[in-house]
Structure 1
Amino acid sequence: MRFTRTRTAQVIGTALIAVPLTLGGPTSLSHAQDASPSPSGTFGPGCSSLSKKTDTAKDKVVEAAAAYPELSQLVAAAVRAKLGSTLDGKRDITVFAPGAQAFKKVAPSQLAALLKNQDQLKKVLTYHVVDQRISPDQLSNGSFTTLEGSKLTTSGSGTDFKVDGKASIVCGNIRAANATLYVIDTVLQPPA
């Protein structure tokens, strides 16, 4: 008799757990199929190849970017332009961060000239920074004022987004303590 009660209680308990899971399952699946990228997770075709040294969510933006070898040229340029403390001192920013592939698209002579001209370098780099956190759901048809002072636009849907119609986001929604980073494949130029 005791064995029967215990066995019956186990079967009822299992059924009570399984029913809500079964009822909730189809709703969750259909929602996941329709959903855009979640603001809490990274997305993009380049995320799997974007290796990092540590978790960057608690680091200020320059240190967070330095954890990604793909962003080493950007970090070096920011240090050269003396932007490290400016960027780290901002509370909530978004950086459209040119990765290594972006810098390879710039002619060596142009890159050398840019790196020698601190004012121009600062202008170009601050054009990649917006003074607010931008979530993926704001990228589909966005227009944002950059720290440089000009407007930057974003467009696209799902996980396929462009910045200024030229640069593709290869990995987006990377979190730092004071910033959100979107790695792009082109170095952007501010309007003349």
Structure 2
Amino acid sequence: MTTTHRVRVAALSGAGALLFPLALALAPAAQAGPVQEPFGPACASLPTSGEGSAAGMADDPVATAASNNPALSTLVTAVKKAGLVDTLNNADDITVFAPTNDAFAKIPKADLDKILNDKEQLTNLLTYHVVDETVTRDKLPNGTFTTLQGDQLTTSQSGDVYKVNNSATIVCGDVETENATVHVVDTVLMPKS
């Protein structure tokens, strides 16, 4: 190898050393994890655009996002009555198992009215639907999670069906909000205590 050739190789190696970090800096950033897509039969009923859509809900904290979904109006009313709007909106990385209006309608009206008018009982019920961690579809088969209320709830999978406490079915899951993952359920979950 001649002296001139060695100088060229060294110069090119030095340039390559500079170009490699620059290429890394210009490369697109890797995602922190897989982006979760909503799943379940009721997801088809979400609007395709606007505040109530999956994309629209992702921009708002969870209680605000729920208020934009007409199927969750009873839940939103209950959250307001319990004084939990700020608590839910200011929490980080929570999961909410959100009962639909139809889920609340399964409770006899007299019983539901009693719960809605007893702040302590209502808070106990609502915080049983919230887990202080991110629970996405991959964690649902055979899961056990401690709720903000203090009791545990369980999740299971059979085929494409995901259940909570063997009583509620997730009808639209992995709906992301600014601070929470939401799994919409067809039955109100009742705490043990």
- 2:42 corresponds to which of 30, 42, 46: 46
| Distance change (3 Å), C-alpha of 1:39 and 1:155 | farther
Residue in 1 that maps onto 2:152: 151
Q: Aligned residues: percent identity? A: 47
Residue in 2 that maps onto 1:83: 84
Residue in 1 that maps onto 2:168: 167
1:43-192 → structure 2 map (5 Å cutoff)? 43-51=39-47, 53-54=50-51, 55-157=56-158, 159-192=160-193
Structure 1 residues 112-162: Cα deviation after superposition (integer angstroms, max 9, x where no partner): 000110000000000000001111010001000000000010000553100
Counterpart Cα distance in 1 of 2:50 and 2:185: 20
Q: Which of 1 and 2 has greater Rg?
A: 2
| Distance change (3 Å), C-alpha of 1:62 and 1:93 | same
1:49 Cα offset (Å): 1.9
Contact 1:53-1:68 at 8 Å conserved across structures: no
3-state SS of the aligned residue for 2:57?
A: coil
Contact 1:92-1:179 at 8 Å conserved across structures: yes
Residue in 2 that maps onto 1:25: none
Structure 1 residues 54-90: Cα deviation after superposition (integer angstroms, max 9, x where no partner): 1111200101111110011101100000001111111
Contact 1:99-1:184 at 8 Å conserved across structures: yes
Per mean C-alpha deviation after superposition, the further-off stretch among 118-127 and 56-65 is: 56-65
1:39 Cα offset (Å): 5.3
Contact 1:42-1:172 at 8 Å conserved across structures: yes
1:161 partner amino acid: Y
Residue in 2 that maps onto 1:15: none
Counterpart Cα distance in 1 of 2:64 and 2:37: 20
Structure 2 residues not aligned, in runs of 5+ = 1-33
